């Protein structure tokens, strides 16, 4: 591309939607342009979010026991990965997780459960916990419970759930290479159901599942059409025992280019560096926050994350601020 990345960023801030050709050029850009590309992405990110970083934390309330055949997932019915399996945890466990999130200065607490979709009993348990969380803590609550029904979404909204996550994961074109037990439209429909009830939509992707550059561009543009407020960008952490075992397509520089792409296409949105960042971005993790403005702290679903104090130290070293109403600073958290 002849035009500089900074000037393309200026155009995006002026309302331009980048073309497929420009999007592909981001993913295919030479490594020697990476710092210039990051500077362009940062120009957009800083305009909307300054140097603030949103913190999120997951609690896995139901593990394994899932009838879906998603090729990346250690919890699926086709996985042979030796993970812990358990039914929906009790309310007190969810509340203890919220207390931990509060102490870590987390802005969004994510209640996640495996499975195709929640039973009404599971929804009622989440609803009960969310009501108490909202009474005690000034934090957002995100639910991620699978395919959702209209009445279930309404219950979650009334309880105080702020956000619902259901990732598209990959492009519509590549979807059947990853799972056949539900459709791409099933996923989109769940996000639309949450939106209809006034719940903020969260939907993201997994990169590194043998998709093409065009698939990645299509994912980013699909999320723009879906108008997802929050976009988790996961980088495949191939788990032994899953169909994608041994897949290793990513390097840290390409992961950074993907984050830049997401910022150029979805300039106003919360872009979150999510699962697999530690094993794929490795020593380049801090650079990701020049494009993204959000991270998970703590562990993921069945894989370990970076130590929380290491994340807080990273933010301190970058000179970034935690985007949360508490007065606790990154320096305070590092020194706890």
Q: Is 142 annotated as a binding residue?
A: yes
Q: CA–CA distance from 331 to each of 107, 289, 316 (Å)?
A: 17, 18, 6
Q: Is 260 annotated as a binding residue?
A: no
What kind and span of H or E run contains 309?
helix 308-318
Q: Is 73 annotated as a binding residue?
A: yes
Query: For tokens 């300054």, what's the residue?
Result: 50
Q: Is 144 annotated as a binding residue?
A: no
Where are the extended beta strands (E) located within the chain? Answer: 52-62, 108-113, 140-144, 163-165, 200-202, 205-207, 230-235, 270-273, 294-296, 321-322
Burial class (CB in 10 A: 0-12, 13-18, 19+), 57: buried
Query: For tokens 């140097």, what's the residue?
Result: 51
Report yes or no: 229 and 200 within 8 Å, Cβ to Cβ: yes
Q: What is the distance, to the nearest Å, from the Cα of residue 211 to the centroid of all Cα atoms in its chain?
A: 18
Annotated binding site: 66, 70, 73, 110, 142, 202, 272
Annotated binding site for [4Fe-4S] cluster: 66, 70, 73
Annotated binding site for [2Fe-2S] cluster: 110, 142, 202, 272
């Amino acid at each position: 591309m002849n035009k500089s990345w900074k000037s393309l960023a200026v155009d995006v801030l002026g309302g331009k939607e980048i073309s497929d050709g420009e999007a592909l050029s981001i993913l295919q850009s030479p490594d020697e342009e990476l710092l210039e590309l990051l500077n362009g992405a940062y120009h957009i990110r800083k305009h909307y979010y300054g140097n603030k970083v949103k913190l999120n934390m997951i609690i896995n309330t139901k593990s394994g026991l899932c009838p879906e055949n998603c090729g990346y997932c250690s919890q699926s019915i086709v996985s042979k990965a030796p993970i812990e399996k358990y039914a929906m945890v009790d309310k007190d466990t969810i509340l203890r997780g919220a207390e931990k999130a509060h102490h870590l200065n987390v802005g969004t607490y994510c209640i996640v459960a495996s499975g195709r979709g929640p039973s009404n009993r599971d929804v009622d348990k989440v609803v009960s916990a969310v009501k108490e969380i909202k009474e005690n803590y000034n934090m957002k609550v995100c639910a991620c419970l699978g395919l959702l029904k209209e009445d279930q979404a309404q219950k979650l909204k009334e309880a105080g759930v702020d956000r619902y996550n259901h990732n598209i994961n990959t492009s519509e074109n590549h979807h059947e290479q990853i799972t056949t037990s539900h459709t791409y439209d099933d996923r989109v429909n769940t996000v639309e159901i949450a939106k209809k009830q006034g719940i903020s939509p969260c939907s993201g992707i997994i990169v590194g599942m043998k998709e093409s550059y065009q698939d990645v561009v299509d994912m980013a543009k699909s999320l723009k059409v879906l108008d997802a407020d929050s976009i988790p960008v996961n980088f495949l952490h191939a788990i032994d025992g899953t169909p994608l075992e041994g897949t290793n397509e990513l390097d840290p520089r390409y992961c950074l280019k993907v984050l830049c792409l997401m910022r150029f296409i979805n300039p106003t949105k919360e872009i979150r560096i999510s699962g697999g960042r530690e094993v794929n971005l490795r020593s380049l993790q801090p650079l990701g926050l020049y494009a993204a403005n959000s991270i998970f702290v703590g562990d993921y679903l069945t894989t370990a994350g970076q130590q929380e104090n290491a994340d807080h130290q990273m933010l301190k070293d970058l000179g970034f601020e935690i985007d949360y109403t508490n007065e606790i600073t990154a320096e305070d958290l590092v020194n706890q």
